[in-house]
Structure 1
Amino acid sequence: MIDTERIVANSIPINREGSHVIYWMTSARRSRWNHGLDHAIDLANETNVPLIVVESLALGHRWANDRIHTFVLQGMIDNRKLFESAPLTYIPYVETKQGQASGLLRSFSKGAVALVIDDYPTYMPREVANRAMEIGECCVMAVDSNGILPLRTPQRSFTTAYSFRRYLHKNILGFLARPPMAEPLKALNDLPDGKSIADEAFARANVPITPYEFIWRVAEASREGRDALSYLDIDHEVSPIDSTTGGSVKARVELSKFIEKRLDHYHVDRNHPERHGSSGLSPWLHFGHISSFEIVDAVLKHQKWNPMKITPPHNGRREGWWGANEGAEAFLDQIITWRELGFIYCHQTPNHAKYETLPEWAKQTLNEHSEDERPYIYTFEELENGQTHDPLWNAAQMQLRTEGFIHNYLRMLWGKKVLEWSPDPKVACEWLIRLNDRWALDGRDPNSYTGIFWIFGRFDRGWFERAVFGKIRYMTSASTQRKFKTEDYIQKYADS
């Protein structure tokens, strides 16, 4: 059984005479370490009815593009193989006309014991879960599989990572001890087949089943895949990333490589792009191809960790609390403290992606300096195309366009310069969200919004006052270039 804090339901009771359990997979796109899947399995086992898992990808969101579609469909290929030997019905579904998925969701809800759906605090998955709650056909349960700490557990807000870290030190161990199942498919009873129920749901909704050949072609990320996607009403300028393959299989390979080769030096290397010291796991985390529970479990096992290694006091310090080596301590602070701080903030703050949600001190100081003379002002198009006077900034923007991410440290500089070169702070905030949500594989994510709004003072403190920035933390390309060698980085992306 999972923690009740992870479940929010509509007012319709479970129908124990229903014909099937449906798990509508939108953000936890995996067959392992998944609270939503665990709960759906429990319900199906209890009622001895077919379990139908629908992994859906809709068209009706602002940033739908070839890059996102390819990455998600690559994950569907993995999931099809991982689910195929289990006693459930797995259906990868790609919407071809806007609105089809909503009708299909309603159709699958008819006669169901319950519908389980992922609970996610932002963007399209949140909208889909909200719509599902309002359908009214059956009991709908949104299950939180986002992180170690359930989103609804803290009964307070946090303004800094330090304050959240203090809270974690006092509360996290109990939740670490109650992870989702590592291999939940083994817990399935020999349930009835649900294919005929699924076929009826598609027919009732008058929606075509997505051919496997289409999914396979797109997942190849080749010319044929792009041709297949060309029929969809999505952004075709944002192309797939050939070097980054979606799916749970690739995610676990990348996790193993990180732990074996880079974890022990993470605290030193992560801020040096030329050392390739970061985990690189954010795309797979964003699309739910891997769970933070699985990542943390693997790190702690590598450290031969147990709770007896924790070193009090529980005072919110960044280093030394876990009793692990420095690299592991630094990584755990990122994957737990910073990641979950962003998720909880987004859950607690409906308009979390709006400039108006910045701390009052940040809005005040930015407003006081909003009319300061800028050294440069660029249009959005110039920024998006990496056409500024600054070669390092241009390289970071071109890395985002061509690879779908920016190195951790350079992402901070990238954001600070947009604040400095935009007509005013609010426009800068809007432009950063547009750039990141369109081009980043890990965009449209609570962690992305944490990074963007940190540029403007969220989860930070005031610094020395200066023009344009006011008391907001300042960064320069010159200081960045003194920290590490940037020549090769600039050259790599100069002709992108």
Structure 2
Amino acid sequence: MIPTNRLQIFNQGIGTGDCVVYWMISARRTRWNHGLQHAIDLANERDLPLVVVEALAISHQWANDRSHTFVIQGMMDNKKAFEDSPITYVPYVETKPHEARGLLEKWIEHASVLVIDEFPVYTPRRIKEIAVSIGKCEVHAVDSNGFISLRQNREFTTAYSLRRHLHKTIIEHMSQFPTPNPLALAQNLPSFDYSKAIQIFKESDTPITPYEFIWRICEIEDVGIGALSVLEIDHSVPPVQHTKGGSTAATKQWNEFFKERLSDYTEHRNQPELNGSSGMSPYLHFGHISPHQILHEIFQKYDWDISQIIPPDNGRRSGWWGLPQYIESFLDQVIVWRDLGFIHCSLVQNHHEFASIPQWAQKTLKEHENDPRPYVYSFEEFENAETHDELWNAAQMQLRTDGMIHNYLRMLWGKKILEWTPTPEIAMEYMVALNDKWALDGRDPNTYTGIGWVLGKFDRGWTERPVYGKIRCMTTDSTKRKYKTKKYIETYSVSPSSQQTLFSNAAVNSTSITYERRK
């Protein structure tokens, strides 16, 4: 059974269907998945077949070739994983706007219970709300997001405050790991008659997504682009050719970082010309890998348990876990900063808006709103990397090319947008839009709160200065003094079509601050 604080039940007692349906929309994996585990538990209890529908919608502002390719590559992995189980797996790619709602409603009509991923932002949040509002069967929303569950009954205003909470509640969180391989629990489930699935698609006037379509998109390049062209999505944002989606790629990326680069994490993660980041952010965002898997493998390798914790439990960033510093630095990112974003966004619905910034930060930014800006750029100039600053332009070109910005430069990228826009409200809108459109890990709680951090969220006041007020300032000159950037600038100072990535396995962001938005 999954922990009760990771489960919300709606429309209790409603539903007389002949199957359990798991609507997979954010935890897109078959391992270490609370949602899949819960769906299998329900199917076993009720002696009903389980149908997993992995749906990909186009009815949102930022649907494009880049994110679609990444998700669909994951569908290919999931199809293979489900083949040897009695579970019926149905990958579905929406072809017309709002088509998926009718399909969801029809599956709900045929379900005894619908299990759905709980994800606190953007389209997955709205889909869960729609599923509940249909009201024709019991809906179980399952939180498979982070090490710390969403429901902590309070908000945390700083990373320090969440660390203090973590230090006092670590036993609870260590007991909430999901089953590594939930498919092993499904071996005795009854099978589902696939002709019923075909009938449900017909009843909702929705085309079944053919396997060949998924296969073609996974080919990327011309074959994949041609297949994607039939969808009503943004085709101006191309797939990242050197970064493949899916659980197989996620595991490969994690293993490479874990075995070869984690030991250098503390020293290398902020260096633009060193491959110091984990590259796990897009895989965590799309649910192709679980943070619980990552943490389990770290704890297992270092033979760690809570007896190794070093008191006092005072919220300090390092020295508490009783692990090497590079491990503790990584844990602070993958647990504290990541879960801080998820918990915040689950409680603050306007997390992507300027109004969600702390009052002190709003006040100081408004007091300096009329300060002269050294430069002011339009959204198009930012998007096309047409500023006077070669390092900022390179960071923006990396976003367009790799679907990421280097860990440290991402913060500088945001600070300069704040400095070069007429108002802080416009700065936030620009950051959110640029990241949501181009980043592989866009539209994620971690990236929304990262943008908020640029404007003072989860931070404190600093020395007052023009434009920034008391918000922390970052400059290009100081960045160039601290870190080598020449090779980085050279790499990302050409057009995307002729550009090479700086690292051969440049998967994407580490698990720390990132930027994003919802409309």
TM-score norm. by structure 1 comes to 0.98
Question: 2:111: which partner in 1?
Answer: 112
- CA–CA separation in structure 1 for the residues paired with 2:224 and 2:390: 33
Question: 1:388: which partner in 2?
Answer: 387
Could you list the structure 1 runs, at least 4 aligned residues long, displaced by more than 6 angstroms after superposition.
none
Letter in 1 for 2:476: S
Question: 1:446: which partner in 2?
Answer: 445
Question: 1:166: which partner in 2?
Answer: 164
- CA–CA separation in structure 1 for the residues paired with 2:358 and 2:141: 30
Could you say what secondary structure the match of 1:140 adopts? strand
Q: 1:193 aligns with which of 191, 194, 213?
A: 191
The Cα of 1:302 is off from its aligned counterpart by 2.3
Q: Is the 8 A contact 1:259 1:302 kept in 2?
A: no
Question: 1:362: which partner in 2?
Answer: 361
Q: Is the 8 A contact 1:12 1:136 kept in 2?
A: no
Q: Is the 8 A contact 1:53 1:90 kept in 2?
A: yes
Does 2:182 correspond to 1:184? yes
The Cα of 1:206 is off from its aligned counterpart by 1.5
The Cα of 1:14 is off from its aligned counterpart by 5.8
Q: Is the 8 A contact 1:267 1:327 kept in 2?
A: yes
Question: 1:48: which partner in 2?
Answer: 47
Question: 1:264: which partner in 2?
Answer: 263
The Cα of 1:306 is off from its aligned counterpart by 1.6
User: Unaligned stretches of 5+ in structure 1?
Assistant: none
- CA–CA separation in structure 2 for the residues paired with 1:191 and 1:365: 60
The Cα of 1:282 is off from its aligned counterpart by 0.2
Does 2:7 correspond to 1:7? yes
Q: How does 1:276-295 map to 2 (within 5 A)?
A: 276-295=275-294
Deviation per CA, 1:394-414: give whole Å up to 9, x if none: 000000001000011000000
Q: How does 1:147-166 map to 2 (within 5 A)?
A: 147-152=146-151, 154-166=152-164
- CA–CA separation in structure 2 for the residues paired with 1:242 and 1:298: 29
Q: How does 1:196-215 map to 2 (within 5 A)?
A: 196-215=195-214
The Cα of 1:347 is off from its aligned counterpart by 0.3
Question: 1:94: which partner in 2?
Answer: 93
Q: Is the 8 A contact 2:310 2:321 kept in 1?
A: yes
- CA–CA separation in structure 2 for the residues paired with 1:365 and 1:70: 42
Q: How many residues align?
A: 494
Question: 1:222: which partner in 2?
Answer: 221
Deviation per CA, 1:230-267: give whole Å up to 9, x if none: 11111000000001000001101111111111111211
Q: How does 1:332-371 map to 2 (within 5 A)?
A: 332-371=331-370
Q: How does 1:228-243 map to 2 (within 5 A)?
A: 228-243=227-242
- CA–CA separation in structure 2 for the residues paired with 1:178 and 1:334: 19
- CA–CA separation in structure 2 for the residues paired with 1:204 and 1:162: 52
- CA–CA separation in structure 2 for the residues paired with 1:44 and 1:293: 24
Letter in 2 for 1:415: G
Could you say what secondary structure the match of 1:280 adopts? coil
Letter in 1 for 2:202: A
Question: 1:255: which partner in 2?
Answer: 254
Does 2:446 correspond to 1:408? no
- CA–CA separation in structure 2 for the residues paired with 1:330 and 1:173: 20
Could you say what secondary structure the match of 1:320 adopts? coil
- CA–CA separation in structure 2 for the residues paired with 1:45 and 1:18: 15
Does 2:57 correspond to 1:36? no
Could you say what secondary structure the match of 1:52 adopts? strand
The Cα of 1:113 is off from its aligned counterpart by 1.4
Question: 2:23: which partner in 1?
Answer: 24
Deviation per CA, 1:181-233: give whole Å up to 9, x if none: 10000011422222133122112112111011011111111211111111111
The Cα of 1:173 is off from its aligned counterpart by 2.5
- CA–CA separation in structure 2 for the residues paired with 1:308 and 1:69: 44
> Which deviates more from structure 2 when the two are superposed, residues 82-91 or residues 169-178?
169-178
- CA–CA separation in structure 1 for the residues paired with 2:416 and 2:17: 56
- CA–CA separation in structure 2 for the residues paired with 1:315 and 1:246: 39
Q: Is the 8 A contact 2:309 2:322 kept in 1?
A: yes
- CA–CA separation in structure 2 for the residues paired with 1:49 and 1:400: 46
Q: Is the 8 A contact 2:351 2:449 kept in 1?
A: no
Q: Percentage identity across aligned positions?
A: 56
User: Unaligned stretches of 5+ in structure 2?
Assistant: 496-519
- CA–CA separation in structure 2 for the residues paired with 1:67 and 1:20: 34
Could you say what secondary structure the match of 1:458 adopts? coil
Q: Is the 8 A contact 2:35 2:117 kept in 1?
A: yes
- CA–CA separation in structure 2 for the residues paired with 1:391 and 1:292: 35
Letter in 2 for 1:10: F
> Which deviates more from structure 2 when the two are superposed, residues 334-343 or residues 272-281?
272-281
Q: Is the 8 A contact 1:111 1:137 kept in 2?
A: no
The Cα of 1:136 is off from its aligned counterpart by 1.4
Could you say what secondary structure the match of 2:29 adopts? coil
Letter in 1 for 2:155: S
Question: 1:127: which partner in 2?
Answer: 126
- CA–CA separation in structure 2 for the residues paired with 1:170 and 1:196: 52
- CA–CA separation in structure 2 for the residues paired with 1:398 and 1:76: 29
Letter in 1 for 2:452: F
- CA–CA separation in structure 2 for the residues paired with 1:178 and 1:466: 45
Could you say what secondary structure the match of 2:189 adopts? coil
Question: 2:515: which partner in 1?
Answer: none
Letter in 2 for 1:173: I
- CA–CA separation in structure 2 for the residues paired with 1:377 and 1:356: 23
The Cα of 1:11 is off from its aligned counterpart by 2.4
- CA–CA separation in structure 2 for the residues paired with 1:399 and 1:275: 15
- CA–CA separation in structure 2 for the residues paired with 1:334 and 1:446: 14
Q: Is the 8 A contact 1:51 1:89 kept in 2?
A: yes
Could you say what secondary structure the match of 1:367 adopts? helix
- CA–CA separation in structure 2 for the residues paired with 1:36 and 1:368: 47
Letter in 2 for 1:9: I
Question: 2:510: which partner in 1?
Answer: none
Q: Is the 8 A contact 1:384 1:397 kept in 2?
A: yes
- CA–CA separation in structure 1 for the residues paired with 2:9 and 2:307: 37
Q: How does 1:466-485 map to 2 (within 5 A)?
A: 466-485=465-484
The Cα of 1:178 is off from its aligned counterpart by 2.6
Could you say what secondary structure the match of 1:451 adopts? helix
The Cα of 1:176 is off from its aligned counterpart by 1.6
Letter in 2 for 1:293: H
Question: 2:463: which partner in 1?
Answer: 464
The Cα of 1:111 is off from its aligned counterpart by 3.2
Question: 2:313: which partner in 1?
Answer: 314
- CA–CA separation in structure 1 for the residues paired with 2:172 and 2:4: 14
The Cα of 1:18 is off from its aligned counterpart by 3.2
Q: Is the 8 A contact 1:120 1:146 kept in 2?
A: yes
Letter in 2 for 1:167: H
